Amino acid sequence: MSRVERGRTKGSGDTAGSPEAGPNSGRASVAWPLLASELSVLFRRVRTWAMLAALAAVPVLIAVAVKLSSRPTAPGRGPLFLDRISQNGLFVAVTALVVCVPLFLPLTVGVVAGDTLAGEASIGTLRYLLLAPTGRTRLLLVKYAGAVAFCCAATATVAAAGALAGVVFFPVGPVTLLSGETVSVGEAAVRSLLIAAYATVSLIGLSAIGLLISTMTDVPVGAMAATIVLAVVSQVLDTLPQMDWLHPWLFSHHWVGFADLLRQPISWASFGDNLLLQGGYIAVCGALAYANFSNKDVLS
Amino acid sequence: MSGTWRDRSQQSGQSPHQDSVDLPDRWAIETQGLTKRFGGRIAVNGIDLAVPAGSVFGFLGPNGSGKTTTIRLLLGLASANSGDVRVLGKKMPAALASVLSDVGALVEGPGFYPFLTGADNLRRLDSADPLAPSETRKQRIHEALDQVGLSHAAKKKVRAYSLGMKQRLGLANALLRPRRLLVLDEPTNGLDPQGTREVRGLIRSLAAGGTTVFVSSHLLAEVEQMCTHVGVMSVGRLVAQGPLEELRSAGQSGVRVLTPDVDRAKNVLTRLGLVPQPWDGPSLAADAVLATGLDGREPETVVAALVADGVRVRGFSVESASLEDRFLSLTGEGFDVAG
């Protein structure tokens, strides 16, 4: 080692004594570049786009099926609002969300949330992210943020494809709400967005569950499957009257409760309940995921 | 053995009394009683590793001897059951966030996103480091790729990379920033002879620039060619460490005699206290004798004794023990992987 070199290493040794790496300490907590990178990796995967395309296909299929069907849909048959589509295209998006919330959306969110850490572990990038060094807490937060971003993209995709299909195939006009009032097209579009937001909130608890499961394994497919199975189990339990004591605690309990958003004035009660419930799941699963991941031996 | 380290700080004129002071930059890596258990199995058993700053340290050991687990412990990927780790003078894993920025690592093979290009993979990992300046990112990625000879494949998806190319990309990741310590786990795995040679050259030039290189390998010839210091692991224990020359000289040296009078030569050598080896290797022709146990005797006295007894000496050479002999004597000959 040359003298110059020794001077350098000694110098950095001296700064080690001062409170953690002086000039950079302010940037140490910055997660934005990593978040940007996370989103870019997520949305550059073919898989992500394939799932969004599949979700976009749902409202289009519904619209085409209703359009091609000769007889009008009897009220009360098929998914909620299906009978209204042929009179007003704005209901395509709402109907598609009703159809997607129980299975298709949890399926795609389960894939993304289950993949968060287990996917990185399985291809060996987890150790390099940690060695970069990404702090474990930061990585966990960024991974969760990525999953939530996908939830937003997924519901937005259904709503947007639904709106587009509705405009293309059916007449669009003022919408009669469940409470009887009629609102303008613009107001109805806002209601559609609110329902999409409601569905997004419904999925963020599931994302936290997926993240937790993802910290437990190096096999992404296992974490995805487990997350999706839990989403189904939760909904099945919610239908069993024998388990009614459990119902308020099931993360899927409020999933389809967005009819209140189609009343005048809007009843925010179920939105708030849903938010509170999902927040609870985020807190519990997030804490467990942190406890599990922060001290985990990364051996992948 | 640590008392006989070639001490670089003393060579450059520093007072030897400073040995007692805990210099942060004397050891790049230092462990005390480092132990890791997986269930009931002890993977790393109380090792006291001391890697001098500025050295190229070869970390040797058979498969399953605990090399990679040790590296995981050093870098905070796994937590030790007991023992202390200091990397670049700071305690790990407490100082992990500030230490790892100065450490470039390749651990248990490269790991990359197959659906991203080589350059995008490096961008991803670099943006994961909060201390990496984003202004110079593009330039640094370009230089790192250039250093490992991957410039032409920078825009190719990693899916299309060969194992050797992935290994090079892994090295490029370790070199993204100027590092004070490089931890390279089997860096030449999967590389062709040209690549192996380039990596050796790269490690030498980095070491010449003052970077400490900690390189694990089971390729002894490679370690002999590029390392200044060596540590040998066997079944979770560090069975030897020190300067390469010291480790090698601890083995037995011997002589090789080329002569048509094989039997007479063997008698003379035995009388002198050497041990003629039964050897059937291809390197030994019918008219050669190999004997170990020179033990500090002057080689010329051996030649003189041979000639005095009428042995027709056609060739004579002193054979120092190879690192391989030493390695095998330390870790055992068995082929079975230690459980």
In chain B, where the domains are located: 2-249, 254-320
Inter-chain CB pairs, A–B, below 8 Å: 127
Q: Are A36 and B45 in contact (CB under 8 A)?
A: no
- Inside any domain, residue A115: yes
Q: Are A159 and A97 in contact (CB under 8 A)?
A: yes
Distance from CA of B277 to the nearest CA of A (A): 43
Confidence label for A200 from pLDDT (cuts 50, 70 and 90): very high
Tens-digit pLDDT profile for residues A245-278? 999 999 999 998 888 888 888 888 999 999 999 9
Q: Please state, as a whole number, how many other Cβ atoms lie within 10 Å of the Cβ of residue B281.
A: 7
Is residue A150 over pLDDT 50? yes
Closest partner residue to A123 (CB to CB) among B54, B102, B111 is: B111
CATH code assigned to B2-249: 3.40.50.300
Residues in chain A with CB shorter than 8 Å from the CB of B89 are: 13, 16
Residues in chain A with CB shorter than 8 Å from the CB of B161 are: none
- Inside any domain, residue A175: yes
Residues in chain B with CB shorter than 8 Å from the CB of A44 are: 115-116
d(CA B223, CA B201) in angstroms, rounded, equals: 13
Please tell me if the domain spanning B2-249 has the same topology as the one spanning B254-320: no
Percent of chain B beyond pLDDT 90?
42
d(CA B138, CA B133) in angstroms, rounded, equals: 10
Mean pLDDT of B310-338: 75
User: Edge-to-edge, what's the strand order for the sheet holding B254-258?
Assistant: B275-276, B288-292, B254-258, B315-319
Q: What are phi and psi of B103, to 5 degrees?
A: -115, 125
Give the pLDDT confidence score for residue B336 in this predicted structure.
58
Residue-number span of the structural domain to which A106 is assigned: 30-294
- Inside any domain, residue A10: no
Distance from CA of B209 to the nearest CA of A (A): 7
Count of domains for chain A:
1
Tens-digit pLDDT profile for residues A60-85? 999 999 988 867 767 777 777 888 88
d(CA B139, CA A203) in angstroms, rounded, equals: 40
Nearest C-alpha neighbor of A73 from the set A58, A60, A88 = A88
Is residue B194 over pLDDT 70? yes
d(CA B92, CA B109) in angstroms, rounded, equals: 23
The residue among A30, A130, A131 with the most chain B CBs within 10 A of its CB, best to mutate, is A131
The CA–CA distances, whole Å, from A176 to A71, A84, A90, A172 equal 22, 10, 11, 12
Give the pLDDT confidence score for residue B335 in this predicted structure.
53
- Inside any domain, residue A2: no
Q: Are B106 and B174 in contact (CB under 8 A)?
A: yes
Residue of A nearest to B54 (CA): A1
Percent of chain B beyond pLDDT 70?
86
- Inside any domain, residue A5: no
d(CA B252, CA A115) in angstroms, rounded, equals: 55
Whether residues A133 and B129 touch (CB distance < 8 A) is answered with: yes
Residues in chain A with CB shorter than 8 Å from the CB of B128 are: 34, 37, 129, 132-134, 139
d(CA B167, CA B149) in angstroms, rounded, equals: 11
At residue B48's C-alpha, the angle toward residues B42 and B52, to 5°, is: 140
Give the pLDDT confidence score for residue B22 in this predicted structure.
47
Residue of B nearest to A296 (CA): B78
Give the pLDDT confidence score for residue A104 in this predicted structure.
95
Query: H-helix or E-strand containing A17?
Result: helix A3-17
Residue of A nearest to B13 (CA): A3
Give the pLDDT confidence score for residue B42 in this predicted structure.
92
The residue among B101, B124, B213, B229 with the most chain A CBs within 10 A of its CB, best to mutate, is B124
Give the pLDDT confidence score for residue B14 in this predicted structure.
38
Give the pLDDT confidence score for residue A4 in this predicted structure.
37
Q: Is the dihedral of CA A287, A290, A295, A298 positive or negative?
A: positive
d(CA A94, CA A72) in angstroms, rounded, equals: 18
Give the pLDDT confidence score for residue A16 in this predicted structure.
36
Give the pLDDT confidence score for residue B93 in this predicted structure.
84
Mean pLDDT of A201-212: 96
Residues in chain A with CB shorter than 8 Å from the CB of B138 are: none
Mean pLDDT of B259-281: 80
Which region among A46-50, B69-73, B329-333 has the lowest average model confidence (pLDDT)?
B329-333
- Inside any domain, residue A38: yes
Which region among A166-170, A180-184, B13-17, B289-293 has the lowest average model confidence (pLDDT)?
B13-17
Look over chain A and give the mean of its residue pLDDT values, rounded to a whole number: 87
* Per-residue tokens: A231: 């989403």
Whether residues A12 and B134 touch (CB distance < 8 A) is answered with: no
**Amino acid symbol at A171:** P
Q: Are A122 and A221 in contact (CB under 8 A)?
A: no
Residue of A nearest to B137 (CA): A33
Residues in chain A with CB shorter than 8 Å from the CB of B184 are: none
Out of 3.30.70, 1.10.10, 3.10.20, 3.40.720, which CATH number does the structure's domain B254-320 have? 3.30.70
Look over chain B and give the mean of its residue pLDDT values, rounded to a whole number: 83
Quick check: ipTM above 0.95?
no
**Amino acid symbol at A136:** R
Give the pLDDT confidence score for residue A15 in this predicted structure.
37
Distance from CA of B78 to the nearest CA of A (A): 4
Is residue A28 over pLDDT 70? no
Is residue B39 over pLDDT 70? yes
Closest partner residue to A21 (CB to CB) among B98, B108, B180 is: B98
Whether residues A299 and B78 touch (CB distance < 8 A) is answered with: yes
Find tokens 């931890």 and name the residue.
B183
- Inside any domain, residue A3: no
Mean pLDDT of B303-311: 89
Whether residues A34 and B130 touch (CB distance < 8 A) is answered with: yes
d(CA B143, CA A79) in angstroms, rounded, equals: 58
